[in-house]
């Protein structure tokens, strides 16, 4: 119960005694898993950000022909191969 009260304090949570009785076995099970992980011999294991090699997710960066994107079909107004938008109000003279 002490661990649960500590976690609740750190997370600024206030729960009822009934909820504590519900969550305590779950927390104890999670801490047991963490204890099991602490027992593993990880000497010589290099740290990594991913469980698997991520290189196969990379793809070639290829520029596509803009005509393949069909942007003009989604544009309210299309002019000179660009989106055409209304001018903003106000004087923009230099």
Domain boundaries, the chain: 2-38
What number of residues does the chain have?
94
Residue 87 vs residue 36, higher pLDDT: 36
Mean pLDDT of the region 38-57: 82
pLDDT at 94 over 60: no
**Lowest-pLDDT range, 12-16, 49-53, 54-58?**
54-58
Q: How far apart are CA 78 and CA 68, in angstroms?
A: 16
- Check the CA dihedral 82-84-88-92 and report its sign: positive
- pLDDT tens string 56-85: 667 788 877 766 667 778 888 888 888 888
Rounded to the nearest integer, the mean pLDDT of the chain is: 84
């Amino acid at each position: 119960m002490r661990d649960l009260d500590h976690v609740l304090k750190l997370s600024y949570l206030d729960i009822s005694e009934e909820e504590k009785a519900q969550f305590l076995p779950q927390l104890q099970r999670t801490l047991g898993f963490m204890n099991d992980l602490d027992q593993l011999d990880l000497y010589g294991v290099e740290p990594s950000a991913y469980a698997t090699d991520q290189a196969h997710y990379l793809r070639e960066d290829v520029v596509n022909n803009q005509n393949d994107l069909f942007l003009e079909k989604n544009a309210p107004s299309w002019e000179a191969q660009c989106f055409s938008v209304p001018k903003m109000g106000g004087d923009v003279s230099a």
